[in-house]
Every structure is written in structure tokens, then in C-alpha cells.
Amino acid sequence: MKASESEVAYAKINLALHVRSREPDGYHRIETLFAFAEEGDLLTAELAEALTLGITGPYAGILSGEPNNLVIRAAIALREAFSVGEGAAIRLDKRLPVASGIGGGSADAAAALRLLTRLWRLPTDDPRIQSIARELGADVPACLVSRPVRGTGRGDVLEPLDDAKLAGMPLLLINPGVPVATGAVFRGWDGRDRGGLDAGDPLQVARAARNDLESPAIRIAPEIGEALALLARADGVTLTRMSGSGATCFALFESMAARDAADLLVMRARPGWWRLKTALRGHDPVP
């Protein structure tokens, strides 16, 4: 038995995001293509009598004193669902910007579920884990699998994607350092249904698609428009888009060299912006 475990909370990317309608309960019906970076926040945990959470990393200060952290909520829900008698000392190394459209708390909560499932020796295929993920938030089920999936409904009805052309694609994430509230961006959507996602090869579908939240997000944070324009100037770009409700934007590239050149371009133009050079994860099994 391992007394400690670690797990990456992989950064979530919306290759496309079509908003189809606003539901009576206030949620929105969407169609999206989820993909995930190879990197993200890092969670570690070891067996303990109580459930505790310590947060470190460059973005820890933003979460300090947060009373209802999704990681602890996930841990409590998992322990109660399986009547676990043990606790866990959890540590979150917060490396990704907060409120930035790349998973954030959802990815951390999902990673906590994977992490504690192993630590507490629980069955990984138990449907209660997916139920907990769905209750925690619309993005948590996709973040739980952390591999390319198509999301419908609130984004929590998932269908695996053929990722043959996605796996390993060079990826650059940039964020201008402006937190954007998801609720405010969705409220800024104009209510117009511009149609759903096509079927077929995910990369081709994504390139023909859009993110319906880009325009309202840019109205809130014009820096997002600047970030998209900056990425579009780079050579070797396959796809450029805002992820989720922003403010993080991304670009996929034909080669690692093109990605690295774009990273240098952004660094020179906006040295204070957050950047992450990485690649897309493939459809490998989640332990």
C-alpha cells in the first residue's frame, strides 16, 4: 500500500465552444470539444486522520482563506460516498492562473478524485465517482477523464473523441493576467444560437468552429483580443482560440519549433503575461 500519491490537474482546453441556449434554471446548453494539456497544477496527498488542504505555488495567494475549495468538497464527497474511515493531508501546488478558462478549480477537484481514489484504494470504475464529479460542476466530469471528449448538455454529457491528430500537438497557452468571471461572460452572450458542432475529425471540426464566449469576454477584458491577435501573428499556427470563458488563449502549432518561436514572440511583446509551452494529451488510460 502506498502511503502517498500525486496527481496532475491537467489544464483544460476548449478547442471549440458553441452556446446553444439558456435554460430556465440559469445554466446554458453547450456543445464543446474538450482537450487537455500535458501539464497543470500538481496535487499530492498522504494518509492522515483528518482531511486537510495546504496550497502553495505562484497562485496560492488568490485561493488562501477560500472557505469552500472544490478540492476539499471533492474529498469530503468521495469519503462520504464510500464510507472511508481515513483522512488525507492534501497539498495543491497552484501553478495555473485562477478564473482563466482552463479548468482551474474543476481540474483540481477532478485530480483530487483520481488521487484519493488511489490513496484510499477505491474502485476506479465505480459510477459514484462520476456522479460526484457531475455534482461538483459542469466541467468536472471532462476534467476527471482528462482526455479528448465531446461535451454536450451543460458540458457534462461526454463522448470520447478520436484523438489521432490531436495527441502530442504542440500547444502554447497565454494569459494577460486579467481574471474573468464565468458568470459575467455567459450573461454577456447575446442569446443567438449560431448552430452546433459538426461531426468528424476533431481537429477539422475545431478549425471550422468557434467560441461563442469570445466576444462577450473581449468586451469585459479587451486584452483577450490582443492575445488572440498576437498568437495569430505567429508562424506555423494550426488553430488559435480563447479557451472556455477566458481570459486564457491558446494556439496549436505544426511543430515544437513554431510553438517555441511564438512563445518568444509573446514574451518580447508582453513580458508580464503568463505563458505555458506544452502539448495536448492523448487518449491514454487514466490510472
Q: Which positions are catalytic?
A: 12, 139
Beta strands 237-242 and 249-253 are antiparallel
C-alpha 232/C-alpha 105 separation (Å) is: 29
C-alpha 73/C-alpha 65 separation (Å) is: 15
Which regions of the chain does DSSP assign to beta strands (E)? 4-22, 28-48, 51-56, 87-93, 149-152, 157-160, 170-175, 237-242, 249-253, 274-279
Residue 228 and residue 242 in contact, taking contact as beta carbons nearer than 8 Å? yes
C-alpha 144/C-alpha 36 separation (Å) is: 11
Give one DSSP letter per residue of 145-195, joined into a string. Answer: H-S-EEEETTTTEEEE---TTTTT-EEEEEE-S----HHHHHHTS------
